[in-house]
Structure 1
């Protein structure tokens, strides 16, 4: 795996990460609800760390080869997105409307939700199964394939951390003095999670 392959992967990965989706919706909603953006992003990155570990171990290929398991993961992830999205739509919050939960409990909950969203995100699984392998050097490489896979996975995690932190911080800063706009953005984020989850459910169940 040479420098050219790394740069090409980085460019493509940044493009994919910058496309708004469930991850964007979650980090925006977390920021506007007065919760820790860092905890939300850390959770999302932890979910992709799981994908990286599975891919490096070769387990992701086994998942891809099992339609039943892939369907179960897709349905679980989509169902979780629908549940979160519906909750955000029901209780949109302005930035200053932070909950009264204990900080440590609230932070751990935000982290776990982020890890669940990205860990069960079929888009992430497909990224590791279809995009990442195209940048691996199978012959004559100085690094074995698992090490290359881990390196590209870490690069993806770094891209996610940089982009999602920027999105979360900017959404909080720009909307902190605009509660009406903040509620509108929160509702949009909830609708995005709900729509993405519903689309994934219909798409996967239609193939059965």
Structure 2
């Protein structure tokens, strides 16, 4: 379906897209530090499920779907921005305590929901899937299977990259003192809040 001349540059773009830290990476790291590697991996799963939905939207017809739900995407963007600010504020206010008892550990669905919300509202993801990915589609062939394959490729690369962050942070949590974690949480929290403000100010083109 795709030639090497198409796949190689696309794969390189996927790697660059994935390794550049963004809101999703920040949430993965934060959850891994707080709840361990499992929490980070569940966050990644939520983000990838949301990305799969976005890939499907692009595949079935981006222009038609986007024009139909334009107002909904504005609401999603603002909700995502508010959520990032709220997460950032919680991290800034964190005590740095990492040891959770079984009863205090967040349920699986919370990590999945966090990953999904951040992925849905991440402008980097929307830009990549909506504007960059279609440039590699051969208009002379059926577009739906091409977009789905290209989408699954970027999802696989992003999952691998984010998993490295999750495993590293999950292991590092046992080596960090509460003071260091508290400082890391504050830095990450400020980044998340700035990202939320930036996202809220973005306008659709």
TM-score by length of 1: 0.86
**Distance in 1 between residues matched to 2:188 and 2:63, nearest whole Å:** 29
User: Which structure 1 residue ranges, 5 or more long, are not aligned?
Assistant: none
Q: Given the alignment of the two structures, is residue 160 of structure 1 paired with residue 161 of structure 2, yes or no?
A: no
Asked if the contact 2:94/2:182 (under 8 Å) is kept, the reply is no
Alignment of 1:39-78 (within 5 A): 39-59=42-62, 62-63=65-66, 68-78=71-81
Q: Secondary structure at the match of 2:107?
A: helix
> Partner of 1:199 in structure 2?
198
Change (3 A) 1:24 1:7: same
Question: Hey, what does 1:3 align to over in structure 2?
Answer: 4
Residue in 1 that maps onto 2:129: 128
Q: Within 5 A, what are the aligned runs for 1:48-197? A: 48-59=51-62, 62-63=65-66, 68-94=71-97, 96-98=98-100, 100-101=102-103, 106-139=107-140, 141=141, 144-179=142-177, 180-197=179-196
Q: What SS does structure 2 have at the residue aligned with 1:111?
A: helix
Distance 1:185 1:60, change over 3 A: farther
Question: Is the CA contact 1:85–1:189 (under 8 Å) kept in the aligned structure 2?
Answer: yes
Residues 22-31 or 188-197, more deviating: 188-197
Q: Contact (CA 8 Å) 2:46, 2:113: kept in 1 or not? A: yes
**Size of the alignment, in residue pairs?**
201
> Larger deviation: 50-59 or 153-162?
50-59
- Sort the Cα spacing of 1:169 and 1:64 in 2 relative to 1 into closer, same or farther, 3 A: farther
Please report the RMSD computed on the Cα atoms of aligned residues, expressed in angstroms.
2.3
The gaps in structure 2 that reach 5 residues or longer are: none
CA apart distance, 1:197: 0.6
Q: Name the TM-score, length of structure 2 as normaliser.
A: 0.87
